[in-house]
Structure 1
Amino acid sequence: MPARFKDICLDAGDHQALADWWCAAMGYVRRDVHDPPEDGWVRPTEWPVPIVDPAGAGPLIWVNAVPEKKIVKNRLHIDVFGNVDELVALGATVVRRKDAEIDWDVLVDPEGNEFCVFAPR
């Protein structure tokens, strides 16, 4: 096996705000808030923000600061089970609704990163 899955990474202009958005959308928490070091060390704000599923079921997501804006469609994206209306209320935008061709809705997060939303099981 030449590779195995490690983490998901999202690029963002405002990585702090996007980390908070994905935490609200997915029920994730910042890892340094979820598991603070005992010596009181605080992650510098310019560093990538790790967010995790507090139940341990989902993957670690790193939200990374980048200087460039997103300009083309993602070649890799996240699929989630969720409620489109609630995600839109948090700040997502619907790009394409479920239709006869696809069985999911396509949304973008506040920074324009595409993700697909499937009805909860």
Structure 2
Amino acid sequence: MAARFKDLALDAVDHQSLADWWCTALGYTRRLPHPGQEPSPPEWPVAIHDPHDRGPLIWLNPVAEPKTVKNRMHLDVWGEPEELLALGATLVRRREGQRDWDVLADPEGNEFCVFTPDPHAAPSVPLTRR
């Protein structure tokens, strides 16, 4: 094995605000410093995590430049597109035909796909609602 999965990372001009947005959208929280460790300066990357340990750790990294082209990698999430739009996401493309997901973008333009959970199917990873 040459590598194994560790974390996800998203670049953001306002990484603090985008960390808060993703925390609200996913039910995540900011990762706290270990006991005895000082909090990181606000200009450093922000780590957010699933408090139930069902999802990956996500780092929000500060960058100077805004997003200008399509993501080469993106997140797929279970959720309700209208709820995410109400939180500040923007619609990129509605589901249609054979495509059973909507494409949205977070407040900084990072695209992600939203799959609506089937209410009759038991998901392999339990979903949480706020």
In structure 2, how many angstroms separate the alpha carbons of the residues matched to 1:113 and 1:92? 10
The corresponding residue for 1:15 is 15
Greater shift, 20-29 or 41-50, is seen at 41-50
- Percent identical across equivalent pairs? 64
The corresponding residue for 1:98 is 95
Deviation at 1:3, TM superposition (A): 1.1
Unaligned 5+ residue runs, structure 2?
119-130
The corresponding residue for 1:120 is 117
Does residue 66 (structure 1) correspond to residue 63 (structure 2)? The answer is yes
Let me know the Cα RMSD of the aligned residues: 1.0
In structure 1, how many angstroms separate the alpha carbons of the residues matched to 2:101 and 2:35? 43
Unaligned 5+ residue runs, structure 1?
none
Deviation at 1:39, TM superposition (A): 2.7
SS state of the match for residue 6, structure 2?
coil
Would you say how many aligned residue pairs link Structure 1 and Structure 2? 118
The corresponding residue for 2:53 is 56
SS state of the match for residue 58, structure 1?
coil
Moved over 2 A (4+): 36-40
